[in-house]
A = this chain, B = another copy of it.
Amino acid sequence: MRQVGSVLWPKLRVLQVYGANTGVGKTIFSSLLCQAFQRHFPKVHYLKPISTGPLDEADDQHVATLGQNTRARCLYQFSEPVSPHIAARSSSKPVADANVRTAVHDELRTYATDEDGIAIVETAGGVLSPSPSGSSQADLYRPLRLPVFLVGDHQLGGIGTTISAWESLRLRGYDVQSIALFAEDRYDNHTYLKSYFAERDVHAFSIPPPPGRDADAVQDAEEMRKYYTSSSDHRAVSDFTNRFLEAHEMRLRNIQLMPSEAEQAIWHPFMQHTERSKDTIVAIDSAYDDYFQTYTTKRAAQQASSPEAPLLVPAFDGSASWWTQGLGHGNPRLALTAAHAAGRYGHVMFAGAVHEPALRLAQTLVEKTGNPRLSKVFFTDNGSAGMEVAVKMALRAAAVRNGWSAEDDIRILGLQGSYHGDTIGTMDCSEPSIYNKKVEWYTGRGQWLDFPQVKMRKGQWVVEPPATFEGALGEVEEFESLAAVFDLGNRSQHRDLYRDYLNGWLAEQARQGTKFGALIMEPILLGAGGMMFADPLFQRCLVEAVRKQESSATSARGEHEWSGMPVIFDEIFTGLYRLGRFSAASFLGVQPDIVANAKLLTGGLLPLCTTTASQSIFEAFLSKDKSDALLHGHSYTAHAVGCAVANESLGTMMKMERQGAWTTFRESWLPSSHGLSLSTSSGEVWSMWSNAFLKAISHRPNVDYVFALGSVLVIALKDPAGASYASAAGAGLRDKLFAGDSGDEAVIHSRVLGNVLYLMAAISTSRETLEAIEEKVFSALE
């Protein structure tokens, strides 16, 4: 199925008519609008995508009322006069939402010509009345995100139904151009509603109601004709048509100016602005599910001569919006959850207080990680702040137990290429790199180990040691499957090699008197440092080794207490199903004393971070002295909206796991051969990207290596100039994917880290969608 996006052609205005309820006069207003717009355009298109009931006299009459210059079209006609979802049930073939959207899109495209024009698209029933597939009207058409004309309800009770219908449209991301209704004086809804919407800066107007039906058909038609003529002349109607035509021009202008205005007013994150111009900035008009609706000056210039080329182009959100996206853009459930928490609480201060969404989230995190060490959840607003908290926690625990003072140089132990955030304290946890070396206050405070990496090269899974590893330790291991890499119990030879190496290294550090306050590690995948897939066996051995660094001071006093040094897992990127599991630690079979989660925590909607610690870490801050406490806290700590959305997101993802939502993806990762130990269930290591696709691209001549795990796909390109963050190899592929082929095919928006291009799906992305992406990527690599 072709991905159709939000519809916007410069010369074609489109207005979608929704009704606050059935029987509110949607068709009458549609006809009126068709007539009124004939003053502005020689031809007006009227489109009724779905119609139920036989095409009888009434319909013919209706089409006649549209005016002689209106061309009317219906795409799906069901003969039964019932709701579309019931009519479709008894129809010969089911009508999927995607089909309807594509049909509407393709029909509208035929109207998009050199000539200025307009189309009125009339929906069926009310805003949330069912579509043929059983979804709602507003959900069915949401990906097109047409400007809305809402016909209000003039009937008894219509004030409430009109406002509620408007709210339902708003929370689905629609922009409502105007609300119009009949000026029925019995209930006087129009007076109330005009004032209600005026207060909210929403345009609303009313016109006199149509005449009562006349039993005489000829007389009735004549009355209605008169009514249409007088109503389309009504000042409120012409006010609206003028406003809407201006709004269309304004919308075009706003979108077209966005890149240059952004260049003026915005300081972008992570960007050398000499490389930025209005021509590089991507304006995102809206997003739905896996796709952005994008505008770029470059594409606009290319397509300027083609009137049927849409101004907005759908682009697959290939970075999962910087690794956050979980449940699709514009997800109405998350929107409603956010709204409910906002309506129930707003933000309520969390110092010494508690509210239900925060408590429930804390309990879920402590319970579901399967880590018996964890006990207490601390909330912050983003991963960087959450890692600052983790470091403060670990350092204090280590300092208290070891009796270190402020004068001691307490360092952290980490992996090379690690990245834990942009605030200076977390930058200090990583070795000098392009990210931090020019930050005036940066001070690397650690020792960083190089580590073996998992890669697929030409169809072969390997674990490659770094160049600094020597002897047997320096040999490449080959594996028949990714599952075999994770079959840690069967890799005893390397386990011994790693152990000896790590014990030796730690002993040397101890001799030098290095004081380690924490081991900090991103389990499995090191993200911003360059998308590196660490050998899980090495990471496991490292945790085991530091925990054995015991002395009388640093030995654990209880089963779940830290020993050696506190172990922090930064699961901000890798946790909460990014790699297919709730906890990334579960791949290693060892558990941290402190874990930080963010990004997917809210399903990709809002910033929120949690730092969960063990009881023994918590107790290091207890004393009679307030200054011994963790005196950290942000104003919006544990904001209710974020916590509620996190509960909904985690709940949805856990439910997807329980219900086997990823079975199709997992199937392609079932190993073809056997011999794995029972300790690792082979089905547990899988990716949303297919195994066959991965193998295929690994053989491409310009590909160095690839890997995939969970929703992450990594393609490392060969670069004669060397692989680094400064490499331009990735950018070439990224630009190719974003340029796309031609026409109105969807393109792919992605991010690169030097020679590495990665793609990341949402947790809810379908196999069908990814297949289409895989095809495009495969072609682009040719």
Contact = CB atoms under 8 A, between A and B. Distances in A.
A115 to B, nearest CB: 29
A49 interface: no
A319 B262 contact: no
Contact of A622 (B200, B273, B338, B366): B273
Given A641-B338, A726-B626, A347 B324 contact: yes
A134 interface: yes
B281 A344 contact: no
A322 B351 contact: yes
Given A265-B363, A391-B441, A428-B441, A330 B343 contact: yes
Contacts of A385: 381-382, 384-385, 422-423
Given A362-B265, A629-B273, A636-B382, A349 B336 contact: no
Interface-centre pick from A268, A358, A605 (highest chain B CB count, 10 A)? A268
Contacts of A670: none
A21 B359 contact: no
Given A170-B340, A173-B343, A188-B86, A322 B265 contact: no
A470 interface: no
A172 B339 CA distance: 8
A344 B286 contact: yes
Nearest to A393: B267
Contacts of A639: 605-607
Contacts of A499: none
A624 B284 CA distance: 27
A780 to B, nearest CB: 19
Interface in A407-457: 410, 422-426, 428, 434-441, 445
Given A281-B354, A330-B345, A439-B392, A265 B160 contact: no
A261 to B, nearest CB: 6
B321 A348 contact: yes
B354 A438 contact: no
A22 interface: yes
A157 interface: yes
A428 B443 CA distance: 13
B359 A347 contact: no
Contacts of A170: 336, 339-340, 343
Contacts of A406: 437-438, 440
Given A258-B356, A265-B362, A164 B168 contact: yes
Interface stretch (A101-109, A121-129, A693-701): A121-129
A254 interface: yes
A732 interface: no
A67 interface: no
A156 B324 CA distance: 41
Contacts of A629: 270-273
A598 interface: yes
Q: Do most interface residues of chain A lie in helix, strand or loop, or is the interface mixed?
A: mixed
B265 A377 contact: yes
Nearest to A367: B265
A43 interface: no
Nearest to A412: B441
A321 B134 CA distance: 43
A504 interface: no
Contacts of A743: none
Contact of A358 (B86, B130, B163, B266): B266
A252 interface: no
B346 A328 contact: yes
Contacts of A635: 321-324, 382-383, 598-599, 607
Contact of A363 (B261, B423, B440): B261
A748 B356 CA distance: 21
Contacts of A362: 262, 265-266
Contact of A423 (B267, B343, B423): B423
Contacts of A8: none
A167 B436 CA distance: 47
B161 A631 contact: no
Interface string A370-385: 0000011111111111
Nearest to A18: B160
A125 B157 contact: yes
Interface in A734-771: 751
B632 A284 contact: no
A234 interface: no
Contacts of A346: 287, 321, 325, 328-331, 334, 604-605
A604 B640 CA distance: 11
A314 B349 CA distance: 15
Nearest to A335: B342
B343 A440 contact: no
A441 B348 CA distance: 31
B187 A83 contact: yes
Contacts of A258: 354, 356, 359
B425 A424 contact: yes
Given A283-B354, A336-B167, A355-B284, A625 B272 contact: yes
B280 A352 contact: yes
Given A335-B339, A388-B422, A627-B434, A160 B173 contact: no
A309 interface: no
19 contacts: A163-B168, A171-B340, A173-B343, A265-B376, A265-B377, A266-B354, A267-B613, A268-B351, A268-B633, A271-B629, A272-B624, A274-B624, A285-B355, A324-B636, A334-B342, A347-B606, A404-B440, A434-B631, A598-B635
Given A167-B168, A271-B352, A280-B352, 18 more contacts: A86-B188, A130-B159, A265-B359, A266-B359, A269-B351, A270-B629, A270-B631, A271-B351, A273-B622, A321-B346, A324-B635, A342-B605, A382-B382, A384-B385, A404-B440, A424-B424, A425-B425, A605-B639
